[in-house]
Amino acid sequence: MPGFPAPSRGRNAAATRQAILDAAKTRFAREGYDGASLREIAADAGVDAALVSRYFGSKEELFVEVLNCAPDATELFAGELSSFGERVAAQLLDDPDTRDGVDYLLVMLRSASSPAAAEPLRKAMRTHFHDPFAAYLNGPDAQVRARLAGDLIMGVAITRAITPDHDLDEEGRAALRKRLAAVIQSAVAP
């Protein structure tokens, strides 16, 4: 009607920001850093590309924020070191809710060859996983032990994403869980 202002569309900055982050995580997981564009991420989130830049600045800053939103790995470090291998093997092989973690692994794997993503990836892995892990392990060669166990954990997580049951029956999965627990425990031992 003439003379009356049009009703303003309700805005929720937090929801918009989260929609952009979700779209970016999906794009980076599917196409890697170099393959994803801010324009595509914006379209996936249902916003204008300028809004992505307004919220996050550059593509690299958005990428860093996506990495910072990865699931908190420090829950792995809650508990006694003596049972670490068993806890982690059970989580890796039995936890039904691993999709989000796998998506972040895909973001890292598909972006690893990008020179622009290399340093943010290294920093995120150090900050959010390796350094807290080494602090949990403490003692001699803590950084080396954290790297070795982390590499094992990452490899098993990727394999499980490809073959959720590892092509094993229940008895085989139990044997795998037992051996994996021993290998991880050996990796973290001082």
pLDDT at 6: 37
Answer whether residue 5 is part of any domain: no
Cα–Cα distance, 187 to 179 (Å, whole number):
12
Summarised one tens digit per residue, pLDDT across range 66-75 is: 999 988 888 8
Q: Domain containing 17 — which CATH number?
A: 1.10.10.60
Answer whether residue 18 is part of any domain: yes
DSSP assignment of 10-55: P--HHHHHHHHHHHHHHHHHHHHHHH--HHHHHHHHTS-HHHHHHH
Answer whether residue 6 is part of any domain: no
Summarised one tens digit per residue, pLDDT across range 142-153 is: 999 999 999 999
User: Average of pLDDT values for 135-160?
Assistant: 93
Q: Which of 24-33, 75-84, 172-181 has the lowest mean pLDDT?
A: 75-84
Instruction: Kindly state whether residues 78 and 105 are assigned to the same domain.
Output: yes
Q: Domain containing 158 — which CATH number?
A: 1.10.357.10
Kindly tell me the burial class for residue 55, based on how many C-beta atoms sit within 10 Å of its own C-beta (0-12, 13-18, 19 or more).
Answer: middle
| Confidence category of residue 5, pLDDT binned at 50, 70, 90 | very low
Cα–Cα distance, 74 to 62 (Å, whole number):
23
Instruction: Kindly state whether residues 147 and 53 are assigned to the same domain.
Output: no
DSSP label of 155: H
Answer whether residue 4 is part of any domain: no
Answer whether residue 8 is part of any domain: no
Calculate the average pLDDT of the chain: 90
User: Average of pLDDT values for 141-169?
Assistant: 92
Is 80's pLDDT higher than 80? yes
Is 29's pLDDT higher than 70? yes
pLDDT at 100: 61
Cα–Cα distance, 160 to 93 (Å, whole number):
7
User: Average of pLDDT values for 31-48?
Assistant: 96
DSSP assignment of 86-122: HHHHHHHHH-S--HHHHHHHHHHHHHTT-HHHHHHHH
pTM for the predicted model, two decimal places? 0.81
Instruction: Kindly state whether residues 60 and 113 are assigned to the same domain.
Output: no
Cα–Cα distance, 24 to 16 (Å, whole number):
12
Instruction: Kindly state whether residues 52 and 128 are assigned to the same domain.
Output: no
Answer whether residue 138 is part of any domain: yes
Q: Minimal CA–CA distance to 58: which of 30, 38, 77? A: 38
